[in-house]
A and B are shown apart, each in its own frame.
Chain A
């Protein structure tokens, strides 16, 4: 009898829970009408060049007063998961920004609108940056429009370098490390000070070391992809990376460059230098989240190679703009892209956003600007990821992040971690697309 109460009690509890679970998760589908175009841009545009987006939209609206432009900002971490789902559900945007390492998979699967015949109608299409144009080309056809490129350089605190007795920008990796040791001597007593702030999962800056020592991520040989991070050169680069980071960085070994944003960590004062994109400089000075008083104390120089006088290859990152095949407003989508990538906006993008614009005719903007020149110079020595249709799945599997984390935390040796990652890359790149 007492048992009965207990049983009934449990029954009530169980029912309550299932009712609660059932109540969670309702969604309302978005109604689309013909006079609205949806644009997915990455949140870099939101944080670093919102004025360019606003100017584009008002110029676009001036021509199409009856069309609503809905710009939805995405994050790098999950925008592809969302994009895949939206393609299947028929709610994909009309324009999407894709990283230049992400395009191949979608081009290979014919999910982006073929722009080959209309490409001439886009501004500067003859002088698009070759590296970005390549990332929009698959088997001779063009599937997207270059947006901007970025190269990384060392962004540093001039005042701290001076106080530590570092007179000029390091010319080799050895000098770079020596300078870092000086900084650590001068400021290292401060808890959490890093001469070089380098979070453990910072893939793009880490792979620079691999390519600097002659290594590669993967190679295409005899019709098959082969991961090559376990080659002697790559392992040498990774080993060197570990020694530099261990000596100079107190950043989280399990964090990455975006969580927290390294420019913001830098702006808090306990960082001597970090390897960052051009747009991260103004971000560190942001009135709301950064520290504007650092304006006169910041500088940048290309990351030096282990060979004296050379630059370490930087990852030539960038973004492209594509129109998914599912878009029902393709003509409007093209026109929005044309507006967004015309000379007026590109000039703004270069000066406000501190990134490399999509056309070679505007690169001279950088040479004259001390805040842009180091990045433009750095981009002269660059590397790119393997151009395999499945490459983005290596990024999605976080294979390189996992490898770096086990190297930095000492969970496994450089050789073992590199071999494991290499095998995984081989397996993913050779999967059926």
Chain B
């Protein structure tokens, strides 16, 4: 870093300026150092930015472009569609089905994130209280769930709730909770979504639990004990000591869960055999059906763009939290 730039060596030194030269030189060098140092982070981050722009930015740009075009089967082959401005969007916003789907997606996300967080927290708290063996057993179970591919999980759930051979109907009937033989869980979207929610929450809990458990382990024992001595019960300790300390982690987990649950697609698509009924359409499914089943690629893209917009809000909260954590050093 301190190697002198070549140009300076041949600088004519006058006697009057001689006294000042080292200072000026040092100042100039410091300036150069600072600018290289300032550039370094950009150089380091450049590959990442380029990669993200290539794999994420460009497709996103294409998606946006597509949403302003009339793009059907014929255009797909020609690889070019006529520009139709906001037609796809105005059609979308006047589409009653779209608003039903949006509302359904919000409710689905809310229920799933809520259940994931509550159950995940409870299991994490349980983990802190367990002995070594049970803790190991439970953690292993959680990791196995986390490692189960979605396709496999969906098939397992499908068989469990199968209307004819499913273990769920058999068990419920055996427990004398009513006649569940031949109960078709997907005939009513409410029970159908019950199954899907169970599947999604089941798959999401391990990450939340393991992360929170690691977080709980960092809560200073002294604080908890002090609170206990002051007569706080378990709930008070959680509310006033543990939770405030862990708040950033909760915020991050909630926003990550929102991002995941908002775009659930595989579980619904697979559990309904690639032919989900309209009652089961979330935004992701609606966009896919319009684009790839009905060949309305432009309209499907418009739905996807709206989805990306909504997701961006959730991501924004997440990123802001991350930045704040960076600032607390």
Interface residues of A (CB under 8 A from B): 2-7, 9-11, 13-14, 17, 22, 77-78, 81, 84-85, 87-88, 105, 109, 111, 191-192, 201, 250, 252-254, 256, 259, 393, 396-398, 401-402, 405, 409, 411, 428, 432-433
Contacts and interface: CB of A to CB of B under 8 A. Distances in A.
Given A87-B77, A88-B77, A192-B182, A405 B277 contact: yes
B76 A10 contact: no
B267 interface: no
B292 A84 contact: yes
Contacts of A11: 322, 325
Contact of B187 (A5, A81, A259, A409): A409
B277 A401 contact: yes
A167 B252 CA distance: 71
A259 B273 contact: yes
Q: Which of B188, B207, B294 has the most CB of A within 10 A?
A: B294
Contacts of B282: none
B219 interface: yes
Contact of B325 (A4, A17, A78, A396): A4
B24 interface: no
B245 interface: yes
Interface in B216-230: 218-220
A6 B215 contact: yes
A7 B295 contact: no
B277 A252 contact: no
Given A6-B218, A77-B274, A81-B292, A253 B187 contact: yes
Contacts of B325: 3-4, 7, 10-11
Nearest to A2: B218
Interface of B: 55, 70, 72-74, 76-77, 79, 163-164, 181-182, 184, 186-188, 207, 211, 214-215, 218-220, 245-246, 248-249, 252-253, 256, 273-275, 277-278, 289, 292-295, 322, 325-326, 328-329
A432 B249 contact: no
B218 A254 contact: no
A88 to B, nearest CB: 5
Contacts of B72: 432-433
Given A3-B245, A3-B328, A409-B187, A393 B294 contact: yes
- Most chain B Cβ neighbours within 10 Å, of A2, A77, A85, A111: A2
Given A6-B218, A85-B292, A259-B273, 16 more contacts: A2-B245, A3-B325, A5-B218, A6-B215, A7-B325, A10-B211, A11-B322, A14-B256, A17-B207, A105-B73, A109-B77, A250-B182, A252-B184, A254-B186, A396-B293, A401-B275
Contacts of B289: 397
B249 A7 contact: yes
B219 A9 contact: no
Query: Which of A77, A88, A254 is the most central at the interface, judged by chain B CB atoms within 10 Å of its CB?
Result: A254
A379 B79 CA distance: 42
A111 B295 CA distance: 14
B249 A6 contact: yes
B226 to A, nearest CB: 15
A206 to B, nearest CB: 16
Majority secondary structure, A binding face: helix
Given A13-B211, A254-B187, A393 B248 contact: no
Contact of B277 (A10, A17, A191, A402): A402
Contacts of A393: 293-295
Contacts of B77: 87-88, 109, 111
Nearest to A405: B277
B300 to A, nearest CB: 12
B212 to A, nearest CB: 10
B248 A10 contact: yes
B215 A428 contact: no
A159 B182 CA distance: 26
B73 A77 contact: no
A369 B322 CA distance: 75
A396 B294 contact: yes
16 contacts: A2-B218, A2-B245, A3-B328, A6-B218, A9-B249, A10-B211, A10-B249, A11-B322, A77-B274, A84-B76, A111-B73, A201-B275, A254-B186, A393-B295, A402-B277, A433-B72
Query: Which 4 residue pairs spanning A and B have beta carbons closest together?
Result: A7-B325, A396-B293, A409-B187, A10-B252
Given A6-B218, A14-B256, A192-B182, A397 B275 contact: no
A109 B295 CA distance: 12
Contacts of B214: 9
B328 A10 contact: no
A81 B328 contact: no
Contact of A4 (B76, B256, B294, B328): B328
A256 B274 CA distance: 12
B57 to A, nearest CB: 14
B211 A9 contact: yes
Contact of B215 (A9, A17, A201, A250): A9
A256 B275 CA distance: 10
A109 B72 CA distance: 10
Contacts of B76: 84, 87-88
Contacts of A2: 218-220, 245
B60 to A, nearest CB: 15
B246 A6 contact: yes
Nearest to A92: B77
Contacts of B273: 77, 259
A98 to B, nearest CB: 14
Nearest to B162: A252
B327 to A, nearest CB: 10
B248 A191 contact: no
A428 B290 CA distance: 11
